[in-house]
């Protein structure tokens, strides 16, 4: 490398790794890194309003682009503010690289100003981490970090760089190859197991595909499409796999889980072969795990061997990349037909809207999302926060853009929606990015409106305002006997004035008749936009599988009884 | 049941914390963990004794493999292996007991490594149960201090030398 210091080496390595955007917040321990960043022609710096926003933006960027998202923070509080974002990325297997400044290596351990053991704090929530102790390790560390973050089961990697290390002269070259003897992710699936799986699938009478985020990160959407057609098998998805099947062909039966589509939940309960691809049998998907897919032979495809058999024993486990394994399966599989099974599932579809009660005069958030879906034909990027609005978005927005649905699934991080939309919009500058949020979540990271404004990002924020923490309200309704406490968001700001303060276009939506007109205008205005939907706090999300119950035992709105007797 | 895992790791700083942290984070119980150098520079060996059924041990193994520095894991529980722990005891040794203590040491074939006016320091290696028996045998004299290491284990039989 030409003569450069550690900080310049970091930026050169980021450039070499193809990084074009970093989300950052400066401070004393990263002054050198920012000075090097200033001189980069390739990398755009996006100053977020908290470090948490930077991590969420990086993960939103990663989800949309398929590349690693990079964020930079200073030592101490800058670093601790990354924790929630790293945990979010870890739980959802997103490739995020976090670079933190650290006090000078000579000061480590002295409780110096803004010193914190960030590698220690984040150890359980990163795929790997480094505390750099030699400037000449930096090129190798960064090369490895990108490799680790983006291969196998993706995940966040943290690099902690003491201030004096980034100031020292770096003479090491960027290594051409990577030598990680303890890290060899399996890519190709075991041929014999794949053959066994195909045999089981070929004999199935009622096959079901259960696709998760692994399909999205492997880029296996088209292959999954081909597989569903070949097997004549419907596809249910997880929240992380919402965009795993962006096709309009009748095979997609929606999200499964405790707020899943009745058709998907009933199909899981009745299927005789369940093919899980890139999904991890999360408790929000399985509900009572002892009652999950009891009739089925389970084939589990996952790139992470530790996921296989973790929650649900599988009959045919296959470790490897979803795309590689589906491709191999397609070599063996003959076309199948399951007319009766498909028809049975079709008969369940209307249960999704039946789960809800009579139409009332007040605005229902599901209608807003339903119209958003129709008007955009699902071809926009949607980010969500966490709560009732998130489940409504998952139920009523069918993602028809690859990598187009971004939500915090595993950790359930409120405050994810807006900053991840910032990252998504920067990764897809020419597309519409819609952030679906609630008044609780939105206020957690609303400060990132400034980032959106500064970069002229025309994000559409669709806010479900029920002046309540609706999902907690729903839990209190069912689990603590309607004893509502601690959920009234009294003191909410005037959101119109918030919009005005950030130069946003603002729409207030209160009347069901106005949905189309407001959405059409909001989507076309080319500006940073807030659509505030006034929703009654009594509106709940249905169906709902109560704790301890099986997926087919769903509570619905009309009479609080199971959807199917 | 107890399982004995031999884990080869790259001896980077932080790897011990990563391994130990994994056990607490996933709710597995470590009985003992012993770590030390191996014949290969840069590679350490950990012997971990962990309680759990086969399903738990399978998860432990898979999760351990996800640590980037973990190179190889061998569950030697059901293999032919030699396992040893080290015990050191400071036992009260009054005049009237000294001969009996020395006699006991001969019987157990263990060493006295320090002699003071009123106490001996005794060093013993052996299996978990042998050391437990030794502890019991010396207890009546008065154990002033006791330290034990965890287990280290090596499988029996030939092993080809490393090619490097």
Residue A103: per-residue pLDDT = 98
pLDDT at A406 over 90: yes
- What tokens were used for B124? 């013993």
Contact A22, A383 (CB under 8 A): no
Domain endpoint, select from B44, B79, B114: B79
Nearest to A236 by CA among A317, A345, A339, A147: A345
Model confidence at A356, pLDDT cuts 50, 70, 90, reads confident
Residue A74: per-residue pLDDT = 98
Q: Are residues B71 and B107 in the same domain?
A: no
B62 touches chain A (CB under 8 A): yes
Tens digit of each residue's pLDDT (9 = 90 or more) over A219-235: 999 999 999 999 999 99
Work out the average pLDDT over A33-50.
Answer: 98
Q: Are residues B45 and B88 in the same domain?
A: no
Tens digit of each residue's pLDDT (9 = 90 or more) over A278-300: 999 999 999 999 999 999 999 99
Q: Are residues B6 and B73 in the same domain?
A: yes
Mean pLDDT of chain A: 96
Nearest to A81 by CA among A127, A104, A48: A48
Tell me the catalytic residues of A: 51, 113-114, 163, 471
A110 CB-contact burial (10 Å; exposed 0-12 / middle 13-18 / buried 19+): exposed
Residue A565: per-residue pLDDT = 39
Domain endpoint, select from B79, B107, B142: B79
Q: Are residues B42 and B92 in the same domain?
A: no
Residue A1: per-residue pLDDT = 60
Nearest to A235 by CA among A212, A253, A213: A253
Select the more confidently predicted residue: A448 or A561. A448
Residue A560: per-residue pLDDT = 55
Note whether residue B160 is domain-resident. no
d(CA A95, CA A75): 21
- Report the gap between the CA of B150 and the closest CA in chain A (Å): 25
**Domains assigned to chain A:** 4-170 (3.40.50.970), 191-352 (3.40.50.1220), 357-541 (3.40.50.970)
Structural domains counted in chain B: 2
Task: Indicate yes or no: CB of A306 within 8 angstroms of CB of B59.
Answer: yes
Nearest to A557 by CA among A351, A269, A255: A351
- Report the gap between the CA of A305 and the closest CA in chain B (Å): 7
Tens digit of each residue's pLDDT (9 = 90 or more) over A516-541: 999 999 999 999 999 999 999 999 99
Contact map slice: A 183-222 vs B, CB within 8 A: 183
Work out the average pLDDT over A303-331.
Answer: 97
Work out the average pLDDT over B103-127.
Answer: 96
pLDDT at A425 over 80: yes
Note whether residue B164 is domain-resident. no
Tens digit of each residue's pLDDT (9 = 90 or more) over B130-152: 999 999 999 999 999 999 999 99
Nearest to A191 by CA among A318, A299, A335: A318
- What tokens were used for A2? 């030409």
Note whether residue B123 is domain-resident. yes
Question: Which residue among B22, B62, B68 sits closest to A148, beta carbon to beta carbon?
Answer: B68
Tens digit of each residue's pLDDT (9 = 90 or more) over A102-123: 999 999 999 999 999 999 999 9
Residue B162: per-residue pLDDT = 60
Residue A458: per-residue pLDDT = 98
Residue B161: per-residue pLDDT = 65
Contact A383, A450 (CB under 8 A): no
For residues A407-441, b (16+ Cβ closer than 10 Å) or e, as one string?
Answer: bbbbbbbbbbbbbbbbbbbbbbeeebbbbbbbbbb
d(CA A286, CA A275): 14
DSSP-derived letter for residue B160 is P
The CA–CA distances, whole Å, from A523 to A155, A266, A379 equal: 33, 36, 12
Note whether residue B161 is domain-resident. no
Contact A59, A88 (CB under 8 A): yes
Tens digit of each residue's pLDDT (9 = 90 or more) over A154-182: 999 999 999 999 999 999 999 999 999 99
- Report the gap between the CA of B38 and the closest CA in chain A (Å): 17
Residues spanned by the domain of B91: 82-152
């Amino acid at each position: 490398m030409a003569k450069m210091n550690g900080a310049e080496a970091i930026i050169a390595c980021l450039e070499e790794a193809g990084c074009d955007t970093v989300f950052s917040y400066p401070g004393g321990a990263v002054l050198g890194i920012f000075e090097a960043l200033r001189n980069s022609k390739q990398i755009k710096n996006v100053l977020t309003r908290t470090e948490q926003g930077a991590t969420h933006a990086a993960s939103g960027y990663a989800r949309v682009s398929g590349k690693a998202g990079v964020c930079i923070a200073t030592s101490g509080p800058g670093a601790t503010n990354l924790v929630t974002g790293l945990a979010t990325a870890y739980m959802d297997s997103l490739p995020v690289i976090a670079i933190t400044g650290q006090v000078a290596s000579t000061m480590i351990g002295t409780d110096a100003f803004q010193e914190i053991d960030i590698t220690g704090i984040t150890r359980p929530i990163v795929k790997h981490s480094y505390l750099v102790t030699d400037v000449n390790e930096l090129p190798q560390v960064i090369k490895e970090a990108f490799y680790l973050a983006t291969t196998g089961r993706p995940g966040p990697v943290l690099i902690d760089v003491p201030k004096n290390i980034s100031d020292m002269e770096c003479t090491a070259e960027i290594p051409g190859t990577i030598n990680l003897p303890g890290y060899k992710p399996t890519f190709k699936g075991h041929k014999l197991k794949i053959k066994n799986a195909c045999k089981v699938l070929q004999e199935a009478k009622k096959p079901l595909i259960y696709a998760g985020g692994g399909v999205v990160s492997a880029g296996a959407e088209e292959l999954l499409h081909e597989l569903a057609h070949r097997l004549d098998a419907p596809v249910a998805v997880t929240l992380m796999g919402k965009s795993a099947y962006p096709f309009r062909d009748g095979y997609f039966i929606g999200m499964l889980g405790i707020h899943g589509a009745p058709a998907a939940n009933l199909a899981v309960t009745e299927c005789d072969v369940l093919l899980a691809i890139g999904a991890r049998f999360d408790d929000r998907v399985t509900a009572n795990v002892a009652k999950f897919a009891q009739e089925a032979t389970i084939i589990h495809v996952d790139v992470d061997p530790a996921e296989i058999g973790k929650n649900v024993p599988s009959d045919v486990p296959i470790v490897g990349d979803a795309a590689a394994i589906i491709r191999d399966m397609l070599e063996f599989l003959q076309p199948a037909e399951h007319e009766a099974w498909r028809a049975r599932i079709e008969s369940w579809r209307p249960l999704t809207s039946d789960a809800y009660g009579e139409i009332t005069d007040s605005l229902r958030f599901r209608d807003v999302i339903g119209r958003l879906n129709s008007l955009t034909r699902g071809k926009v990027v949607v980010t969500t926060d966490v709560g009732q609005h998130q489940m409504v978005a998952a139920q009523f927005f069918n993602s028809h853009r690859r990598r187009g649905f971004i939500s915090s699934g595993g950790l359930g991080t409120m405050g994810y929606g807006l900053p991840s939309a910032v990252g998504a919009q920067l990764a897809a500058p020419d597309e519409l990015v819609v952030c679906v949020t609630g008044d609780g979540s939105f206020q957690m990271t609303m400060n990132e409106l400034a980032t959106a404004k500064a970069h002229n990002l025309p994000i559409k924020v669709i806010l479900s305002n029920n002046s309540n923490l609706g999902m907690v309200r729903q839990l209190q309704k069912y689990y603590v006997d309607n004893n509502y406490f601690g959920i009234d968001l009294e003191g909410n700001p005037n959101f119109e004035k918030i919009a005005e303060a950030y130069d946003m276009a603002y729409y207030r939506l209160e009347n069901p008749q106005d949905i189309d007109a407001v959405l059409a205008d909001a989507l076309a205005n080319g500006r940073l936009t807030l659509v505030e939907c006034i929703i009654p706090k009594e509106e709940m999300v249905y169906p709902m599988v109560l704790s301890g119950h099986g997926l087919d035992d769903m509570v619905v709105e009309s009479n609080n009884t199971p959807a199917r007797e | 049941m107890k399982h004995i895992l031999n884990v080869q790791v790259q001896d980077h700083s932080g790897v011990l914390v990563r391994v130990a942290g994994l056990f607490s984070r996933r709710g597995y119980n470590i009985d003992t963990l012993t770590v030390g150098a191996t014949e290969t520079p840069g590679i350490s060996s950990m012997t971990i004794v962990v309680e759990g059924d086969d399903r738990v041990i399978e998860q432990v193994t898979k999760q351990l493999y996800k640590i980037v520095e973990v190179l190889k894991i061998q569950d030697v529980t059901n293999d032919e292996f030699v396992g040893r722990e080290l015990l050191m005891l400071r036992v009260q040794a009054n005049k009237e007991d000294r001969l009996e203590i020395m006699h006991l040491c001969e019987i157990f074939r263990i060493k006295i490594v320090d002699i003071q006016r009123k106490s001996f320091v005794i060093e013993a290696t052996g299996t978990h149960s042998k050391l437990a028996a030794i502890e019991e045998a010396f207890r009546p004299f008065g154990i002033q201090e006791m330290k034990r290491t965890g287990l280290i284990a090596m499988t029996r039989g030939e092993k080809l030398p490393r090619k490097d």
